[in-house]
Chains A and B, each alone.
Chain A
Amino acid sequence: MIRPVGIEAMNVLGGMAFLDVRELCDHRGLDMPRFENLLMQEKSVALPYEDPVTFAVNAAKPLIDAMTPAERARIEMVITCTESGIDFGKSLSTYLHRYLELPANCRLFEIKQACYSGAAGLQMAANFVLSGTSPGGKALVVTTDISRFALADANAVQEWAYSEPSSGAGAVAMVVSDTPHILALDAGAYGNHSFEVMDTCRPGPDTEAGDADLSLMAYLDCAAGAVGDYLRRVEGADFRESFSQLCFHTPFGGMVKGAHRHLMRKLYKAKPDEIAADFEERLGPSLSYGKRVGNTAGGSVFVALAGTIDTAGITEPVRIGLFSYGSGCCSEFLSGVAGPESAARLGAMGISEALHKRYRLSIADYERLLAGDAVVRFGTKDAELDHQIVPGAWPADGAGTRLVLDKVVGYHRHYIWV
């Protein structure tokens, strides 16, 4: 029998500030008559002194703090999963290792494959555990992505008109081990679908380019392909019957709805009312947090997982199917089992409460941030951060448990706890 493996502990972080998406669309003059179908509400916006490191550390810190010294000593691998890296060579995981005070005998590295990076990191960590090369060893996997696409130039706002409302910011931290209290992975049960396609890309460190139609087509092809590969590989599996809940990579809810409809039509020739009821039941809970933080890229499918575990009312063990898609492209459908203990442990993280505490940016605040004057761009050698750029967002009564960027000296980023 294959030993147990999966997610032992998990936290989702949506940063310090958010913007109301409807307000943004009105401000941009976007013609969105069927806005409700997109299933978007809010998006997290990274403040200038927040970066992929602070998102990652702040997401992981509660998990590390909750461990005994003996448990912490067994973290032997830190994998950061991101398309928002801050250096071509040195990985974010090194900063995590420092600020989380992790053991020195630790393997540190970073994974990039657009929004698929988180699933790749989870599988990499799970296979480290399954390999048995270090029995009892744990891995810390952290997805962390922020989006500042409009920095490039004025045209970027126009080009990305319909993507701006959906692009968010967030990090998901997961401890992966042989005691999977949050999600026990079905080891060996997965399906992949990949091919080269230029649907979205980051040709420059802080610019993005893409084609919404092509990306959607690739996503749909991959959803069918990855699920098909899973069903081929796992004897007796059935997309409709085997999974009580589903979590998909969520650029925005409407896209998930489209992919689910595609699968239900393709596999079962299901009728619209049947598809709608199934979506509500099996995917509705997964959108709980995604619609409040926006697209968090590598972490999006795990933001969906957290939403499901926190809000689906799990009273007995349930099998959850997860679909991850990363542009360019690579995709995977995998599965695991969560139960009442998962709900109790994740509920204790207070994810929803933390999202409620974010500062609500005005459009004027947001536009000032978009101008980018205060932002540390990729490759910046020296900088001092203005912590009062949005005075209301600064935690005046902080407990010393939140990391923010303070300055950059000779490319080296220095952070402080506030």
Chain B
Amino acid sequence: MAHPLDSDQIVDIIIGEIRETVPELADRPIGRADSMADLGVDSIERSEIILATLEAVGLKIPMVQLHGPRNIGELADLIDAKKSG
């Protein structure tokens, strides 16, 4: 069985999906403290990125359960918690 992902690895997955969804951000440094909205990722793209991340980590939960995080780190922590929960 694969080793479970930790929050930092989920951050990396989210950032990878951001770069793929919004090519303009390909070379920009992005970290845990950044918010997708502040990076210029629009609401449709944000939902795409979250869906792709859920798929990548193998988590099947309603999208509305991931509402609330203010930045990428908090989103990764929440996904991590849902995976463990």
Contact = CB atoms under 8 A, between A and B. Distances in A.
A213 B42 contact: no
A33 B39 CA distance: 12
Interface in B29-55: 40, 42-44, 46-48, 50-51, 55
Contacts of B50: 217
Interface in A38-74: 38
A265 B21 CA distance: 15
A258 B63 contact: no
A37 B44 contact: yes
Interface in A12-47: 31, 33-34, 37-38
Interface of B: 24, 40, 42-44, 46-48, 50-51, 55, 62-64, 66-67
A217 B51 CA distance: 10
Contacts of B66: 217
B48 A213 contact: no
Would you call the interface of chain B mostly helix, strand, loop, or mixed?
A: helix
A220 B47 contact: yes
A216 interface: yes
Contacts of B55: 265
A418 interface: no
A248 to B, nearest CB: 14
A216 B44 contact: yes
Would you call the interface of chain A mostly helix, strand, loop, or mixed?
A: helix
A261 B45 CA distance: 11
Interface size class of A (residues with CB under 8 A): 20 to 34
Contact of A255 (B24, B44, B62): B44
A38 B40 CA distance: 15
Given A197-B64, A221-B63, A262 B40 contact: no
Given A221-B62, A265-B51, A213 B67 contact: yes
Nearest to B60: A266
Contacts of B44: 37-38, 216, 254-255, 257-258
A114 to B, nearest CB: 16
A218 B43 contact: no
Contacts of B51: 220, 262, 265
Nearest to B64: A217
B64 A33 contact: no
A380 to B, nearest CB: 35
